[in-house]
Amino acid sequence: RYSLAVNRVASALCCPVVELRDAFLSAWDYRNYISEDGIHPNQQGQNLIYEVLTEFFKTRETICRA
What is the per-residue pLDDT across 6-50, written as a single tens digit (0 to 9) for each?
A: 999 989 988 889 989 889 889 888 889 999 999 999 999 999 999
Query: Are residues 52 and 18 in contact, defined by beta-carbon separation less than 8 angstroms?
Result: yes
Contacts of 19 (CB under 8 A, 6+ apart): 52
Contacts of 20 (CB under 8 A, 6+ apart): 49, 52
Give the helix/strand (H/E) hosting 6.
Answer: helix 2-12
Query: Are residues 55 and 19 in contact, defined by beta-carbon separation less than 8 angstroms?
Result: no
Give the pTM.
0.75
| Per-residue confidence (pLDDT) for residue 35, from 0 to 100 | 95
